[in-house]
Amino acid sequence: MTELELKYGCNPNQKPARIFMEEGELPVTVLNGKPGYINFLDALNSWQLVKELKEATGLPAAASFKHVSPAGAALGLPLDETLEKMYHVEGMQLSPLACAYARARGADRMSSFGDWIALSDVCDESTALIVKKEVSDGIIAPGYTPEALAILKAKRKGGYNVVQIDPSYVPAPIERKQVYGVTFEQGRNDLKIGEDMLENLVTENKTLTAEQKRDLLLCLITLKYTQSNSVCYAQGGQVIGVGAGQQSRIHCTRLAGNKADIWQLRHHPKVLNLPFRDDVSRPNRDNAIDVYISDDCEDVLGDDVWADTFTTRPEPLTAAEKKEWLSKVSGVVLGSDAFFPFGDNIERARRSGVTAIVQPGGSIRDDQVIDTCNKYGIAMAFCGLRLFHH
């Protein structure tokens, strides 16, 4: 097939719409549903991300995409009991690929509501069973087992979008797009990201553990497919906070850091043991947790709302308790798609437990940024690679 007609473009008034190849066959096959224009933008961007993560680490990878940026991305590492509870997968038999998606979805469950899913490997039954329980628009993978495909085809009353991509497909080296009738052309960003990009350690701390290197690569590859400006926090083989599409670097750092802090606070015993009613759905639990963690919790949730959500009114998570919990966080890494112009980004990153950073370098204030890292013993590598994505 050289083209696929779509219902409409980004918005319902944008017709006609299609995806097509000027030469050769489309590398994607729709196995179920009717994916739209934005679905395919998410699918093709997210597929590249997980494909590169698998190539860079050798581990299964998954991504959760919304509006052409990742809400989460992760590797297929086992989950402990706390993460199983946080990600609503307690008691399930999880394959490595299922662990990857549970982690990707769990990075920012609020943003992942209605996500597009990308998997680096053939979707198995274990992964499909997780997808079955989540609110999601569609999925792309290099293949599906018969059991997994049957589960996915039954989702959303049979209308769930399932796309298969040819894993051997290699796009043309030159890519084009139109804006306002003007055609833009550039070489595809096919530069491979590897550990050699972490060798130029410019700080006094020149030690990176194997886990930090893995997570820094995860950050860089995630940023490669995140709308710029962008900053990414990661820990334990998964993204825990993404700040995408901001005009200011510090706002990226703050946005991603706030998301990372929420992820950390979801580990708190008070959050893990919230007395939810049995009839409260996953999305409503995630919404309630987000509000419970917020500073204006008592103002937002009145007695009636509490009663509709919990069996008993929970004790608040105080500002002092949150501060104490976050003060113990360490081992987080951070990546930036362009240089940090000021040391304030490092100050904000440190508050979220960041101990290692990768960024391109090249600011006239690099010395200030390095000095700020040195003040806190943070290791920082200059990768020399800007990763803008638009």
Q: Which residues are catalytic?
A: 66-67, 229, 390
CA distance 72 to 184: 29
Q: Are strands 379-382 and 354-359 parallel, antiparallel or unpaired?
A: parallel
| Strand ranges for the chain from DSSP E | 3-6, 17-20, 28-32, 61-66, 69-75, 115-119, 136-141, 161-165, 174-179, 182-187, 230-235, 238-244, 332-336, 354-359, 379-382
Q: Are 378 and 207 in contact (CB under 8 A)?
A: no
Nearest alpha-carbon partner for 144 in 236, 32, 222, 63: 32
DSSP string computed for 292-337 = HHSTTHHHH--HHHHHHHBSSPPPP--HHHHHHHHHT---EEEEES
CA dihedral 25, 30, 36, 42 (to 10 degrees): -80
Calculate the CA 141 to chain-centre distance.
17
Neighbour tally for 158: CB within 10 Å: 9
Q: How far apart are the first and last CA of the chain?
A: 27
